[in-house]
Amino acid sequence: MQKEFISIAAHELRTPIQPILGVSEILLSRKVNIEQDKELLNVIIRNAKRLRKITENILDVTKIESHSLKVNRQYFSLNNI
């Protein structure tokens, strides 16, 4: 199960890296175009946030496995959602 998790995690981490690298290289290699650059920067930001979330999830899994994850139980009303 651990090998499967590592395989999935590696794939999930690799997926957003390619657009970050590709778009960054495009931005560096051409003349400035403000509107297009904003779009490309949004691709970088979106994929960087995706990487951050994947990393947080991996850290949570390791905390769960080591029994160091703190659970904060809180009651709420489903009607308020």
> Burial of 16 by CB count in 10 Å (0-12 exposed, 13-18 middle, 19+ buried)?
buried
Tokens of 31: 């003349």
Please give the tally of structural domains in the chain: 1
Contacts 24+ apart (CB under 8 A), 60-63: 61/5
Which residue carries 């778009």 as its tokens?
Answer: 23
Can you give the CATH number for the domain in which 72 is found?
1.10.287.130
pTM for the model: 0.64
Domain of residue 50 covers 2-80
Q: Taking 80 as the threshold, does the pLDDT of residue 69 lie above it?
A: no
* pLDDT at residue 44, rounded to an integer: 92
Share of the chain above pLDDT 70, in %: 99
